[in-house]
Amino acid sequence: MQGTIEKTINFVQKTLANAEAGHDWFHIERVFKTAQSINQHEKGDEQVVAFAALLHDIADPKFNNGDEEVGPNMAATFLASIGIDEEVITHVKLIIQNMSFKNSFDSAAFTSKEMQIVQDADRLDAIGAIGIARAFTYGGFKNRVLYDPAIKPEEHLTKERYKNTTAPTINHFYEKLLLLKDLMNTDAGKAIAAERHHFMELYLQHFYKEWEGK
């Protein structure tokens, strides 16, 4: 398995060499490490967890005209090229197709222990100190304002509204980031999320205080 993991890492590093900083190889590496850590407790299929974590953002729809099939298909094609069993490929593809936050707006079409592990790892990278940094990195990439008191966060977004929002980055905390703690699947994920969630709450307190010049 180690040889195929190394090939996958090389493929991801090459493919994401010019990726936006919040969705680059270092994001993948963090998710990979966190997923492996969670899996020590959850005892999922190591191969499926590893490949799904490494390939989950190989072609993020945000950077591919919203096409949600490019990434899963690219992952499946690559895994087939290095001789991975069809059963594993199908499982990994299903995880990539169903694990994103935007897909949580729909009724779950697929889940598995391995998907829950990788999903938790990915969501953990969206919260806490690094999650805050990633949010503002992407906001800058999209040329969004930091905060506008006149634009209130939306509650109960639909999938299409979430995908097409142009709201200030601070709104993203309320529309996604602060919701993730309660969406964690695993006990290990929940424990880490609680600490990172608290850090975000403290950050927002300071943000609003500084916004008022205090």
The model's pLDDT over 54-102, given as tens digits with 9 standing for 90+, comes to: 999 997 777 776 667 888 999 999 999 999 999 999 999 999 999 887 6
Nearest CA among 149, 140, 193, 156 for reference residue 171: 149
Q: Please say if the pLDDT value at position 103 is more than 70.
A: no
CATH class of 2-211: mainly alpha
Could you give the C-alpha distances from 74 to 12, 24, 81, 197, in angstroms and in order?
A: 11, 16, 11, 33
pLDDT digits (tens, 9 = 90+) for 193-202: 999 999 999 9
Domain ranges of the chain: 2-211
pLDDT tens per residue, range 16-50 = 999 888 899 999 999 999 999 999 999 999 999 99
The three-state DSSP-derived secondary structure of 133-166 is HHHHHHHHHCCCCCCCCCCCCCCCCCHHHHHHCC
DSSP conformational letter for 95:
H
pLDDT at 157 over 80: no
Q: What is the pLDDT of residue 20?
A: 86
